[in-house]
Amino acid sequence: MLSRAIRRSIASPLRRNAFAPAARPAFRAVTTDAASSHADREAVPKEDDKPFEIRLSDESFETYELDPPPYTLDTTKAELKKIYYDMVAVRRMEMAADRLYKEKKIRGFCHLSTGQEAVAVGIEHAIDRQDHLITAYRCHGFALMRGGTVKSIIGELLGKREGIAYGKGGSMHMFSPGFYGGNGIVGAQVPVGAGIAFANMYEGKNNVTLALYGDGASNQGQVFEAFNMAKLWNIPIIFGCENNKYGMGTAANRSSALPDYYKRGQYIPGLKINGMDVLAVMAAVKYGKEWCAAGKGPLVYEYVTYRYGGHSMSDPGTTYRTREEIQRMRSTNDPIAGLKQKLLDWGVTSEEELKSIDKEARAQVDAEVAEAEKMAPPEPTGKVLFEDIYVRGSEPDFLRGRIPEENFYYNQTDMGTGPKPVART
């Protein structure tokens, strides 16, 4: 027994917070201004595919033991319009998921990335198909950007056989070429990412791997274990914390002793990035890719971003943060609206052309969503339940059902050859 006198909390319940954190300013030097970069109207060429230079705001980055990336980015009108298209498409797809969920056609857990589009899209426009990416469960946008189709992603959410993971994983578990999921166990993907990057280095492939995780996930021990291995073995990987300020209902500064996630690699150089500005994300990742290609080892990035919706579909997301905060981010820091503004300011495109891009992206997404809704549900066969547990042809004689009569005998079933695994590039 403790010798101290009985605690007050036992005698009379008390209301107090022992660990109330000190107030911190909401934003430091890196802003989440989505429309902060500049291009001179005169410098923007007429041709869609002729490169020109964009200047990023000096509030795009903060560094840790690292020289900042160049504050300029070479791009073309065509690329900017594609980036815009992609962000609109990702958002449209998330909206479709939202609707289908509310119609009870999607069941289970569903985490949307609305508000965070600039991260998935910015990264994809900075890397190549041979590069690799792995993230947590907020993964629909990444799956799409890495080459998954809207149809297969929505099909997955609907539990359809033609879903990207045969409808077995749902929202959290999507793979596509060069994309290693979609992982439900928070933090587990980070060391896996280090292994993927190592294998690529070992095989002499000059590519980069990105391993993403949330601000909440950043406190898992395995994240730090992965940092250590990556630095020790000089692995070409960009660790990336998508800091959307909350892990479920817990604010970043209530879960993390050091909420400067870009400094958490300690012995690994870090970069904090305005994750609402797709161009800043793109510039940062291009720089990181070059850094890794030059054999300089790992980096730790922090993409400062924001999720508009709740943690998952069942969380309204309005109790642990103010409506004003959400509203402010939506109305003044939106990555899509920000880019749109710039494209108009710089004369990259016209109001009409943007409208037609919007329309095209929506039509394309909507059409694929409709196709996904029409897909057949999975066949109710044992094969569907028991495939892909072991290598085809090497399975044990049987695996058990609930009762012996339900046992599944591999040698009495045509397992087929199945589609080739796609997640290899």
Partner 1 sequence: MNTRTTATRTLSRYLLRPQISVLPQSQHQSRAKRYSSAVAGARLNGSVEYDTTPILHHTSRSTLSNPELPQDVRKGRTKRINLYTAVNEALRHALQTDERVLVFGEDIQFGGVFRCTMNLAADFGTERVFNTPLSEQGLVGFAIGAASEGMRPVAEIQFADYVFPAFDQLVNEAAKYRYRSGSTGYNCGGLVIRMPMGVVGHGALYHSQSPEALFTHIPGLRVIIPRSPVQAKGLLLSAIRSNDPVLFMEPKVLYRAAVEQVPVDAYHLPLDKAEILKTGKDITIISYGTPLYTCSAAIAAAEKDFGCSVELIDLRTIYPWDRETILESVNKTGRAIVVHESMTNAGVGAEVAATIQEKVFLRLEAPVKRVAGWATHTGLVYEKLIVPDVTRVYDAIKQTIDY
Q: Which residues form the interface with ligand TPP (CB under 6 A)?
A: 138, 184-186, 214-217, 244, 246-248, 311
Which of ligand TPP, Mg ion, partner 1, none sits in contact with 391, Cβ below 5 to 8 A by type?
none
Q: Which is nearer to partner 1, 33 or 215 (CB)?
A: 215
Shortest Cβ 216–Mg ion spacing (Å): 5
Which of Mg ion, partner 1, ligand TPP, none sits in contact with 3, Cβ below 5 to 8 A by type?
none
Shortest Cβ 14–partner 1 spacing (Å): 5
- Distance (Å) of CA 247 to CA 18, 28, 243, 317: 21, 20, 9, 11
Alpha-helix residue ranges (DSSP H) falling in 297-412: 323-332, 335-345, 351-374, 382-386
Which of partner 1, ligand TPP, Mg ion, none sits in contact with 256, Cβ below 5 to 8 A by type?
partner 1
- State the DSSP H helix or E strand holding residue 210, giving kind and residue range, or none if neither: strand 209-214
**Closest residue to ligand TPP: CB criterion:** 214
- Distance (Å) of CA 211 to CA 50, 195, 239, 258, 399: 32, 10, 5, 20, 35
* Interacting span for partner 1 (CB under 8 A) from 78-86, 116-124, 289-297, 379-387: 379-387
158 binds partner 1 (CB under 8 A): yes
Contacts of residue 414, defined as CB under 8 A and 6 or more positions apart, other chains included, come to 383
Q: In this structure, what DSSP letter does residue 74 have? A: E
Determine the distance from the C-alpha atom of residue 341 to the mean position of all C-alpha atoms in its chain, rounded to a whole number. 24
Shortest Cβ 221–ligand TPP spacing (Å): 11
> What strands, in cross-sheet order, belong to the sheet with 132-134?
61-64, 270-274, 299-304, 237-243, 209-214, 132-134
* Site size with Mg ion, rule: CB under 5 A: 4
Instruction: Identify residues 218-237 at the interface with partner 1 (CB under 8 A).
Output: 219-222
Contacts of residue 212, defined as CB under 8 A and 6 or more positions apart, other chains included, come to 119, 133, 134, 135, 136, 142, 189, 240, 241, 242
23 binds partner 1 (CB under 8 A): no
256 binds partner 1 (CB under 8 A): yes
204 binds partner 1 (CB under 8 A): no
423 binds partner 1 (CB under 8 A): no
214 binds Mg ion (CB under 5 A): yes
Closest C-alpha among 307, 4, 273 to residue 126 = 273
Rounded CA-CA distance 149/221 in Å is 34
215 binds Mg ion (CB under 5 A): yes
Which of ligand TPP, partner 1, Mg ion, none sits in contact with 138, Cβ below 5 to 8 A by type?
ligand TPP
Shortest Cβ 162–partner 1 spacing (Å): 13
Determine the distance from the C-alpha atom of residue 354 to the mean position of all C-alpha atoms in its chain, rounded to a whole number. 25
* Interacting span for partner 1 (CB under 8 A) from 61-69, 83-91, 400-408, 411-419: 400-408
Tokens of 187: 């933090």
Shortest Cβ 217–partner 1 spacing (Å): 6
383 binds partner 1 (CB under 8 A): no
**Closest residue to Mg ion: CB criterion:** 214
169 binds partner 1 (CB under 8 A): yes
